[in-house]
Amino acid sequence: STCRMGSEPSTMASMQETAKKYFRGMQHRKFHESKACGCKMSLGVYLPDAYYNDDAPVPVIYYLSGLTCTDENASQKSGIQRYADEQGVAVVFPDTSPRGHNVEGEADSWDFGVGAGFYLNATESKWKHWRMYDYITKELPVYLAQTFPNLDTTNASLMGHSMGGHGALVIFLKNYNKYKSVSAFSPICNPINCPWGKKAFTGYLGVNEAAWKSYDATELAKAYDGPNTKVFIDQGADDDFLKSGQLLPENFEKAVEGKSNIELKLKMREGYDHSYFYIATFAEDHVNFHAKYLKP
């Protein structure tokens, strides 16, 4: 998730909508007014060849990005579009927080505020516009269906990286009837027990322990009583954030042990770190995993 803001122009610096030919499909960059986040949001949408040439509507994979990212990091670095095009699946790349509210302190640290929405609905009034959970689950599917009529947003899966892996797991476990499958690269699996999560949840949710647990994948997995589902977690074994206790996949693994309704596929990748080089190496596995559920 190391895509520090200084190294690339800010998401909102260029408000030009674009469409670029990419493999056989098109990579779109769109902007729209968000009620949930109270600002204009940017997003990337990759439409495969199938979107333009098949009669059947095209399913969607939401790719949720990590700390400091905009909508452009994964769309430019992950290489996931190649495999999405082959499978006839669209990929949506949302931004990671609202922008432009100029809340005092919003850009003071890279792991809180701008670029660090944590895919929750903040309850602390100072951060009232940080409602990425509602944005992703409620607002975005409506916008996509209106803007790209050949997308089937009712046939959708979730994936993400790091903070976005946390988002994908949490949103899926809370809305398993809305999404077909979930996978994550190096997710923050147990935020109530790691420094990133404690900082973010204190800031956005205050000291409400029940609220913290409601956005924690490990806690949600313990309580999950939905239909049988498979969860695919992909983790670089040489990831510094794994070693420093930010990600805690072992806690998620323990939470689902003996649960008959969650089958965990946890892949530890020897020698790989937390970067887009790692993501790009295994992106194909994730698209193929979701395609089994989206196009059975």
Residues identified as active-site: 162, 239, 274
Task: List helix spans (H) across the chain.
Answer: 49-53, 72-77, 80-87, 132-134, 140-147, 163-174, 195-205, 209-214, 217-223, 240-243, 249-256, 276-294
CB contact at 8 A, 33 and 44: no
Residues contacting 254, CB < 8 A, separation 6+: none
The dihedral sign for the CA sequence 217, 222, 228, 232: positive
Where does residue 57 fall: left (phi above 0), alpha (psi -120 to 50 degrees), or beta otherwise?
Answer: beta
How far are the Cα atoms of 6, 250, 282 from residue 144, in angstroms, in the given order?
Answer: 30, 36, 27
